[in-house]
Amino acid sequence: MLAGLSRSVRSAARPEVDAERIAVLRALEEMKATIAAVQAEVAVAFDHSQRAIQASQGVPHDQLGRGVAAQVALARRESPHAGGRLLGMAKALVRELPWTWAALRSGRLSEYRAMLVVRETACLSVEDRAAVDARVCGGASRVEDLGSRRLVAECRQAAYQLDPHSVVRRSAQAVSDRYVSLRPAPDTMTWLTALLPVAQGVAAYAALRVAADSARSAGDGRGGGQLMADTLVERLTGQATAEAVGVGVHLVMSDLTLLAADSAPAHLAGYGPIPAGVARNLVGASPEVAGWVRRLYQRPRTGDLVALDSRSRCFPTNLSTLITLRDQTCRTPWCDAPIRHVDHIEPHESGGATSFANGQGLCEACNHAKQAPGWLARPEPEGAQTVLLETPTGHRYRSRAPVQSGRNAEKKPSRFELAFRRLVIAA
């Protein structure tokens, strides 16, 4: 039925007149909201059913629901973190925010704006949350005419009027949620982001601005943004200059890339793919920089790293490092979270080996989710670095470790390259 509906939508959404095109865009937007509401309702029913099944299996009460958000995430092709957020939003909408739920279901409110209402009322009691819901989204509300900022403002105002103490407590709690993150940016750059209390954030930015202005007054030719960025790196790392990188990094590359015989990109742990030329520049940098770069080499035909095995239950440090560098991020499909745990694909208690082929890198949430009843995983096929993951509902998902290959991967290696590889293996 749903497949037929999808085909009908695709065939109907091809108008020939601009006015009709705009009408179709509006209709599809409303349909997206309605579909999001149905997804939320289905997710809540699934959560209720799974908890009942787990309870009948004797799962402790405080562990009921483990793995449910992960299954929702897999079905929606999202990360487990996003799956948990979507499931939490669905519960709040269906059970505690009937007016917002109705606006979403009727297409008057987008999924994103419904999530804003959920977020801004999260600190309130169930009763106060329902009151804000009715005030902002109730009846003949003009909620569909509100922009995102105005919607947030009205929710916050209503929340503060109903329970000012909870809003203050939420602000205090937010301080404990401060963090620093690193994300890849275009052109071999990164976004280093810090979520800080407002006073600390403003003070840090002001200090960087003062340092940049002072340097420019002294004749430094760098731009203000460049000076602030360089000052940040210098003060955080204690380096004399921003270019003197003093933090160890793992650079994964093939010998062909290192020898400029191939243009296949390398992989920088914690960042992702980087151009071959940039990787060679890192390796050939000044001694104080190059000494901190650990170079790992791949088989040029397959892109696989060299395997290691162990007889112990826990993965040794070197083997864990190798698996982490191979997998790069959590192996669960659509989860791009950093690897926190290296665990067996086939459990050790079931005879799974502590080996390169039977190891996988997972984030903490995914590793805990697969401990719930009904989750199965196995390497498939043997030696191909592919994991077959089966959820309690019987749905199967495959993930393969990232491989790095270049257009010259099949080229016959020269005698010099063969000798070089023997040196690498011996080292």
On whether residue 421 sits in a domain, the answer given is no
102 and 29 assigned to the same domain:
yes
Q: Are residues 157 and 90 part of one domain?
A: yes
- Residues 3-27: tens digit of each pLDDT: 666 666 666 667 778 888 888 888 8
Looking at the domain assignment, is residue 287 inside a domain?
yes
Q: Assess if residue 418 is contained within a domain.
A: no
Identify the pLDDT of residue 348.
78
Check residue 143 and give its pLDDT. 84
Question: In the structure encoding, which two tokens stand for residue 403, read together?
Answer: 């491989």
Q: Are residues 26 and 159 in the same domain?
A: yes
Q: Which amino acid is at 133?
A: D
Residues 253 and 356 in one domain: no
Considering the chain, what is the average pLDDT of its residues?
Answer: 80
Q: Does residue 156 sit in the same domain as residue 58?
A: yes
| 245, pLDDT greater than 90 | no
pLDDT at position 74, please?
94
**Looking at the structure, do residues 34 and 99 belong to the same domain, yes or no?**
yes
Given a contact cutoff of 8 angstroms between Cβ atoms, the answer to whether 109 and 100 are in contact is yes
Same domain? 157 vs 14? yes
Q: Are 233 and 254 in the same domain?
A: no
Is the per-residue pLDDT at 370 higher than 50? Answer: yes
How far is the C-alpha of 402 from the C-alpha of 385, rounded, in Å? 9
The 10s digit of each residue's pLDDT in 28-75 is 999 999 999 999 999 999 999 999 999 999 999 989 999 999 999 999
Confidence check: pLDDT of 294 > 50: no
- Give the pLDDT confidence score for residue 283 in this predicted structure: 60
The pLDDT tens digits for 128-149 are 999 999 999 987 667 888 889 9
Parent domain of 216: 194-237
Would residue 188 count as lying in a domain? no
What pLDDT shows up at residue 426?
41
Choose among 351, 350, 366, 355: nearest CA to 314. Answer: 355
Residue 383: its H or E element: none
Q: What is the DSSP letter of 411?
A: S
Q: Which long-range contacts (CB under 8 A, 24 or more apart) does 133-136 make?
A: 133/96, 133/97, 133/98, 133/99, 133/100, 134/99, 136/99, 136/100
Residue 8 sits in the same domain as residue 132: yes
Give the per-residue pLDDT at 86: 93
pLDDT at 70: 93
Same domain, 165 and 45: yes
Buried b / exposed e along 14-26 (16+ C-beta atoms within 10 A): eeeeeeeeeeeee
pLDDT of residue 285: 55
Please say if the pLDDT value at position 347 is more than 70: yes
Q: What is the pLDDT of residue 331?
A: 87
**Are the C-beta atoms of 251 and 283 separated by less than 8 Å?**
yes
**Is there a single domain that holds both residue 6 and residue 134?**
yes
For residues 236 and 5, give the distance between their C-alpha atoms in angstroms, rounded to a whole number: 55
Residue 182 is assigned to a structural domain of this protein? no
Give the per-residue pLDDT at 384.
52
Is 297 a member of any domain? no
Number of domains in the chain: 4
The pLDDT of residue 291: 42
Which DSSP symbol is given to 385?
Answer: T
71-85, 88-102, 289-303, 352-366: the lowest-pLDDT one = 289-303
Q: Is 425 exposed, middle or buried (0-12, 13-18, 19+ CB in 10 A)?
A: exposed
pLDDT band at 409 (very low <50, low <70, confident <90, very high): very low
Mean pLDDT lowest for which of 200-204, 210-214, 345-349? 345-349
CA distance 332 to 397: 9
DSSP notation for 247-287: S-EEEE--HHHHTTS----EEETTTEEE-HHHHHHHHTS-H
The answer to whether residue 406 scores a pLDDT higher than 50 is no
Q: How confident is the model at residue 226 (pLDDT cuts 50, 70, 90)?
A: very high
- Residue 327 three-state SS: helix
> Domain for residue 186, yes or no?
no
For residue 351, the model assigns a pLDDT of 79
Q: Please report whether residue 388 resides in a domain.
A: yes
**Claim to verify: residue 134 and residue 255 sit in the same structural domain:** no
| C-alpha separations of 16 from 10, 24, 28 in Å | 14, 11, 16
What pLDDT score was predicted for residue 116?
Answer: 94
Q: Which of 261, 253, 277 minimizes the C-alpha distance to 325?
A: 253
